[in-house]
Each structure stands twice: as C-alpha cells, then as structure tokens.
C-alpha cells in the first residue's frame, strides 16, 4: 500500500432544514487503501458520501483529491475526477446488456455507429481481469445481484476511477459472492485503486479493510488502522454512550407484573435474504427490544410480523392461535400497530392534517354509515395532542410542516388511539432531537404500564436499556442472544452484537 493520501475531505459540514447532518467531518483515504466508513443510521455516513460524489453540496469544508482541491457539485464532476460509486440500489440500466452498461455514454464508435464487437471485446477484457466469467451480451437483469455489482465495478474501472465507493455492497450477497467481491477488491488494491467500504458486518470490515473512520451524530468519533482496534472498541464507539444524554436504567424487571401470556410468537420465520429463521415471543405488557446493527434483519422481522411483507416460511401465533400472515389490515384487526423506520416514506400522509393523520387507522370506529363523526374525531385528536404534547398550531395543520419528533408522535397517536395490544416501533427516535427523544421513551414506558406490549427496534443501546424489559439480539438474520432485564448491560449487548455470544442467553 502506498502511504500517499489520495482523498482528503477537510472539516465537511452540511445542514438540512432542522438537522445538522455533518459537523466538520474529516476523512482521509490513502492510495490503494480499503477504508471502512462506519456509523449507525443518521450518523452522517451517507451524507458524507453524497457530498463526496456530488449528490449534495457541502456547506463548509474542502475536498482534496490527489493533492488538488476538487469541487464535486454534480455526480458527473465527481466521476470525471475519478470517484465512482457502487450504490446499494444498483444504478445501472437493468434491461440493457452487460457490455452496454459498462460503456453507456462512452460507446466505442466506428464510422458513426456503435462498434459492438470492440465493445464486447473490451468489456470481456475488463471482466476477465476481475476474474469474472460472464457472457457480456446477456441482459443485466437476467444476472444475479452479485454479477450486476461486478458490472458496476467494471464500469468504474473502465472510466479509470481512482476511488471506488461501495455503499453496503455485501448486504444482498451470499457468503460465496462476498468471497468473490473481496477478491475483486484485492485486485483493485493491486492496481492502486482505493476503496471506501461501507458495511455493517464487522467480520467483513476486519477482513478486507485497512483503516476505518467511525461517525456518530455527524461527527468523526474515531479513526484507526484496523490492526489497532478490536471489534468491541469499534461497536462501543459506534453505538456507545453519548456523554450528552445519559439516560438512567429504567425500572428493574418485575417478574410478578409480567404475565407469561405470549401475545406474539414466531417460529422459524424466514424471508430471504435478511431473515433466516427467527423465533421470538412478545409477552403481554412487556417491552421487547430488538438489538442488532443496521441490516441485521431486525426491521425485516418486524415487517413480517405486521404483514407488511410476506414470509417464505415459519409460523406465527397471535394470542396462542396460529394465524396466517396477511396484509397490514389483518394485523391491525388483531390489535397491532406499526411505526415504520422511514416516517416520510411509510408513515405520514404528508399533505393531510394532524387530525386526519391521527384518525386514519381508527376511522372505521368513528364512522356511522361511512360518515366520519366530527365530534368524536376531534375529541380523540385533542386528547392525544395533549397527552403526547404534540406541538402543532392547530389540528388542521398539514403534518408535513411538523418537526420530525412531532410527526413521530402523530404516528404513535394514530396507533395509541386504537387501544392496541402490541405496538411495533422501528427506530422510534430516529432523526429526533434529544428532548423529544426523552418524551417518546417516556411514552413507551407509559404504554407498558398500560399493559400494552411493545416491540422496539433501536440502534441506540442506551435507549434499549432504558426502555426494554428484555432484549433479543439479531445478527445476520438470526437471533444470537436474548437478555433479561437484570442482565441488560451495555457491554453484554455490545458483546453479543460484536461476537454473537450466546452464553448469556
């Protein structure tokens, strides 16, 4: 490896309305280095990458590439500088051939028409060099994700990229395919091409990367060579205690209060590739936490229970009765509610009012002959605006104009007014400021004391420790540990996430 610096991003800051996504972040990548970029949801890594690749423009800071200052204001400019990105959602044209995808926009021409023979030959050469044997004339979408990713990398090589950014390249690959990808990454290194590698799988980071930058809450909280850091150190830096908000451990586990009644039981539930057979029970009136890194399968598990996605196998019992997995509306009838991870895409109805958003799920109970009772509706809405302290000028305000925390409360209110038996909360405090976070955690406690079960997913360990009676740890689509309240400790959870120990289950 070359000791010279290829990329230096200097104190990059970027704000979005209401959020400071990056607060003076530095990133240094050496030539021929595989550099891991880690951090939980909302830590700022995708914003940093988007600044680098020209999707966003930084508010402050400078980017140096091969010792020259560069300005990547569009993705094209970044590409011309030699920075290519392999996205999670592959940015290729699925219905065109492999060789065409590699050369699109830079077709090899002969006498004004495309020289397909030369194109195919060049494409074959590049892929051969990578060690990938595939028919270059086949349609991209007919090939596996792994091959498609290789094509993406081949395209980067063909435009002489000096730096390839790989955004969670392994998230949809199987073990075998990951091996091939790593071989290709090694070949890139041999050609002195640098790689920024984003992944949530620790083993992979430790296998393939040379150095690591860790982000948390828009700041760089760690930089190290891989050989100088342990997995536990890494996990604690990523999700470790934030000095600014120490939340004390909640009540102790109360076995008397806890009934043995299971609201939800899943048995060996499967949906490829993220959920590989998980057994879980949620007891009446308990808060069960799902811990695990992003991409571990925790969100996918929650969606399967709610019927948002259909599983490929396994059994689901609700209140002891075996149920078929159906649509969300069936889960709601059985007394479930679901606050999704991405509020904007799956939660709020942006142009509808606070009132309409809160009452959307409960409408069938508020209507007579299909007509919505205005009085009852406003009674409920007023009650929940007060109970949850939703800050809105009035109930007819469009919900898109509220802050993230208040939007989240609106969605919570939507389910709470249904008197549910089980609420599934996926990252309920994501993108919410500290004060509102506390309020939402208090609400969760309130729910449990009202004998409502909660299944809560969070990337923040303190949060889980604060709120949960029990925590199940998910790793690579499997449950690798379960901790009861008295065992819940930061280190135990992080150990479980990092190593998958089952000793304390």
Partner 1 sequence: MEATKKMTTSTNQTIDWKLFFNKYATPVLLVILISFNVVFTPNFANINTMWNILIQMTTILLTALGMTLVIASGGIDISVGSVMAISSIISAKSLGLGVLPAILVGLLVAAVCGLFIGLIIAKFKIQPIIVTLPMMIGIRGIAQVTNDSQLLNFDSPAYSFIGTYKFAGNIPVQVLIMIIAVAVVYFISNKMAFGRYVQAMGDNYRASRLTGINTFLVIIGIYVISSALAGFAGIIETARLSAADANAIGKLMELDAIAAVAVGGTPMTGGRPNVIGTVFGVLIIQIITVAVNMNNIPYTYSLVVKAIVIILALWARRNK
Partner 2 sequence: MNIVELAVRKVKAFDFKKFFKDEGALITFIILFLFATFKYEQFFTVLNFKNVLRQVSMLGFVAIGMTFVILIGGIDLSVGSTLAVAGVVAAKVCSYGVAVSIIIPILIGIVFGLINGILVTKLKIVPFIATLATMLAIRGIAYIATGELSVGANSASESFIQLGRGFVFGIPIPAILFILAIIVAILISKKTRFGRHVYAVGGNEDASRMMGLKVDAIKMAVYALSGALSAFAGVILASRLGAGQPVAGDGWELTAIAATVIGGTLIVGGVGKFSGTFFGVLIIGLIQNMFNMQGNLNVWWQNILMGAILLGVVVAQSQTGKVSKA
Interface residue list for partner 2 (CB under 8 A)? 75-76, 79, 91-96, 100, 104-105, 107, 109, 112-114, 116, 131-135, 137-138, 142-144, 146-147, 150, 176-177, 179-180, 183
The phi, psi pair for 214, rounded to 5°, reads -115, 130
By CB under 8 A, the residues from 410 to 429 that bind partner 1 are 414
Q: Tell me the number of residues near partner 1 by CB under 8 A.
A: 30
Find, among 402, 468, 469, 431, the residue nearest to 340 by Cα: 431
* Binding of partner 1 by 328 (CB under 8 A): yes
Please select the residue that binds partner 1; options are 28, 279, 346, 499, rule is CB under 8 A. Answer: 346
Please select the residue that binds partner 1; options are 65, 325, 338, 384, rule is CB under 8 A. Answer: 338
Instruction: Tell me if the bond preceding 273 is cis, omega within 30° of 0.
Output: yes
Burial bucket for residue 78 (CB in 10 Å: 0-12, 13-18, 19+): buried
Nearer to partner 2, 18 or 131 (CB): 131
Is the torsion defined by CA of 130, 169, 191, 160 positive or negative? positive
- Rounded Cα distance, 483 and 466, in Å: 14
Other Cβ atoms less than 10 A from the Cβ of 180: the count is 17
DSSP letter (8 states) at residue 399: G
Asked if 22 and 14 count as a contact pair (C-beta separation under 8 A), the reply is yes
Partner interacting with residue 434 (select from partner 2, partner 1, none; CB below 5-8 Å by kind): none
- Rounded Cα distance, 106 and 157, in Å: 13
Nearer to partner 1, 14 or 355 (CB): 355
- Rounded Cα distance, 127 and 125, in Å: 6
* Binding of partner 1 by 332 (CB under 8 A): yes
Smallest separation, CB 93 to partner 2 (Å): 4
Please select the residue that binds partner 1; options are 55, 96, 360, 387, rule is CB under 8 A. Answer: 360
Partner interacting with residue 355 (select from partner 2, partner 1, none; CB below 5-8 Å by kind): none
Smallest separation, CB 503 to partner 2 (Å): 33
* Binding of partner 1 by 439 (CB under 8 A): no
Smallest separation, CB 478 to partner 1 (Å): 26
Partner interacting with residue 370 (select from partner 2, partner 1, none; CB below 5-8 Å by kind): partner 1
Smallest separation, CB 365 to partner 1 (Å): 10
* Binding of partner 1 by 370 (CB under 8 A): yes
Is the torsion defined by CA of 428, 432, 437, 439 positive or negative? negative
Other Cβ atoms less than 10 A from the Cβ of 388: the count is 20
* Binding of partner 1 by 364 (CB under 8 A): yes
Q: In 332-379, at which residue ranges do the beta strands (DSSP E only) sit? A: 336-339, 367-368, 371-372
Partner interacting with residue 372 (select from partner 1, partner 2, none; CB below 5-8 Å by kind): partner 1
- Span interacting with partner 1, options 104-112, 242-250, 362-370, 428-436, rule CB under 8 A: 362-370
Nearer to partner 2, 105 or 370 (CB): 105
The phi, psi pair for 339, rounded to 5°, reads -100, 110
Smallest separation, CB 106 to partner 2 (Å): 8
What does the radius of gyration of the chain's CA atoms come to, in whole angstroms? 25
The phi, psi pair for 373, rounded to 5°, reads -80, 115
Partner interacting with residue 177 (select from partner 2, partner 1, none; CB below 5-8 Å by kind): partner 2
* Binding of partner 1 by 348 (CB under 8 A): yes
Q: Is 133 helix (H, G, I), strand (E, B) or coil?
A: coil
* Binding of partner 1 by 254 (CB under 8 A): no
- Rounded Cα distance, 251 and 258, in Å: 13
Nearer to partner 2, 91 or 125 (CB): 91
Find, among 228, 259, 235, 287, the residue nearest to 446 by Cα: 287
Asked if 475 and 499 count as a contact pair (C-beta separation under 8 A), the reply is no
Residues at the site binding partner 1, with contacts judged by CB under 8 A: 306, 308, 327-329, 331-333, 338, 340, 345-352, 356, 360-361, 363-364, 366-367, 370-372, 374, 414
């Amino acid at each position: 490896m070359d000791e010279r610096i290829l990329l230096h991003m200097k104190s990059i800051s970027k704000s979005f309305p209401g959020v400071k996504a990056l607060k003076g972040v530095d990133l240094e990548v050496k030539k021929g280095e595989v550099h891991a970029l880690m951090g939980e949801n909302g830590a700022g890594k995708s914003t940093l990458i988007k600044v680098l690749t020209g999707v966003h423009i930084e508010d402050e800071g400078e980017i140096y590439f091969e010792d020259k200052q560069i300005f990547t204001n569009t993705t094209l400019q970044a590409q011309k500088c030699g920075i290519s990105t392999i996205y999670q959602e592959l940015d290729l044209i699925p219905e065109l051939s492999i060789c065409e995808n590699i050369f699109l926009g830079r077709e090899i021409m002969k006498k004004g028409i495309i020289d397909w023979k030369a194109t195919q030959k060049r494409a074959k050469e590049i892929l051969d060099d990578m060690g990938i044997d595939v028919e270059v004339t086949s349609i991209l979408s007919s090939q596996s994700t792994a091959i498609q990713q290789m094509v993406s990398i081949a395209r980067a090589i063909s435009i002489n990229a000096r730096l390839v950014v790989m955004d969670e390249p392994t998230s949809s690959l199987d073990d075998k395919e990951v091996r091939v990808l790593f071989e290709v990454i090694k070949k890139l290194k041999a050609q002195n091409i640098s790689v920024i590698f984003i992944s949530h799988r620790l083993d992979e980071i430790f296998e393939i990367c040379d150095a690591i930058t860790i982000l948390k809450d828009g700041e760089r909280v760690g930089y190290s060579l891989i050989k100088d850091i342990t997995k536990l150190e890494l996990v604690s830096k990523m999700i470790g205690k934030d000095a600014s908000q120490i939340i004390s451990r909640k009540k102790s586990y109360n076995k008397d209060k806890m009934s043995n009644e299971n609201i939800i039981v899943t048995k060996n539930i499967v949906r490829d590739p993220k959920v590989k057979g998980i057994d879980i029970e949620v007891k009446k009136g308990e808060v069960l936490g799902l811990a695990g890194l992003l991409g571990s399968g925790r969100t996918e598990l929650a969606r399967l229970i709610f019927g948002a996605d259909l599983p490929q196998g396994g059994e689901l019992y609700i209140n002891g009765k075996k149920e078929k997995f159906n649509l969300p509306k069936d889960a709601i009838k059985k007394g479930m509610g679901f606050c999704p991870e991405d509020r904007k895409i799956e939660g709020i109805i942006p142009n509808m009012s606070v009132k309409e958003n809160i009452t959307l799920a409960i409408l069938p109970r508020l209507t007579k002959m299909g007509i919505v009772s205005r009085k009852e509706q406003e009674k409920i809405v007023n009650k929940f605006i007060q109970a949850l302290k939703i800050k809105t000028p009035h109930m007819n305000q469009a919900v898109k104009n509220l802050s993230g925390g208040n939007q989240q409360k609106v969605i919570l209110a939507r389910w709470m007014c249904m008197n549910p038996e089980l609420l599934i909360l996926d990252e309920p405090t994501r993108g919410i400021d500290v004060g509102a976070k506390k309020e939402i955690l208090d609400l969760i406690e309130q729910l449990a004391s009202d004998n409502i079960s909660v299944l809560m997913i969070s990337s923040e360990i303190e949060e889980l420790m604060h709120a949960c009676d029990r925590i199940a740890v998910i790793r690579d689509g499997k449950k690798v540990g379960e901790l009861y309240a008295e065992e819940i400790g930061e280190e135990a959870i992080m150990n479980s996430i990092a190593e998958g120990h089952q000793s304390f289950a």
